[in-house]
Amino acid sequence: MWVIFQKSDGRIVSASADSEIEMSKEAALKEVVPGVVGAKDVSDYDAIQVKDLEQFRNMTRAVSRGMARVRTTTAGKQDLVDDSPDSSVLFITTNAEQFHPVDNVPLIPADGASFLVVTLQKQNEKGEALSRKTIDTDVIWLRTDHGFLREDADEPREKGDIRSVKLVSGTARFRIYSGTERRLATVQMLTTNPELQAGGLRVEFI
């Protein structure tokens, strides 16, 4: 199989058909490039022969998003590279001591003063914590339909409710305070990072 890429930036655009009879590079370019959207000249493209078909199949999503490339090392070796951002998820925990017996929702008194500390930890798809100082610094926007969201500090720097927290090396904490009525509160967590699944949390005021 021949993987076709742009000479200018190495971006992979397509590949030749996988067949028992391998065509030449020139034939692969002439066959594939005319079908590439926006392709103007075959000479703007090159190809690399790939024997590990599974490797290329695993990059299908990256190819479709324009994030797969052929990278040439200083030694002249060419490799397939997936430049897609790492998919990640926010792992959410609390310091709750009481839970509903049916759905395990955390419980706190509806007295307007009790609170839970919520901890957010950014993790990769394998469940491993991501703690890079300059990368894992996403801003997580917060919304709740009941109760109050505040900094995790007895004397917070920011008085009153908060609307967001920023991950520091992949971690952040905040508090949800109960209201004075029995309610089931839902805290939403949102982010502008399309590769980060933020999720949410429910807390019952009893």
| pTM for this entry | 0.65
- What's at 142, amino acid-wise? L
Q: CB-based contacts of 4: which residues, under 8 Å, 6+ apart?
A: 12, 13, 14, 15, 16, 28, 29, 32, 33, 36, 45, 46, 47
Indicate the SS3 state at residue 30: helix
Cα separation of 138 and 71, whole Å?
Answer: 29
Place of tokens 């967001």: 164
80-102 pLDDT, tens digit each: 888 777 789 999 999 999 999 99
pLDDT at 37: 63
Looking at every residue in the chain, the average pLDDT score rounds to: 90
> Distance from CA of residue 158 to its chain's centroid?
29
135-151 pLDDT, tens digit each: 899 999 999 999 999 99
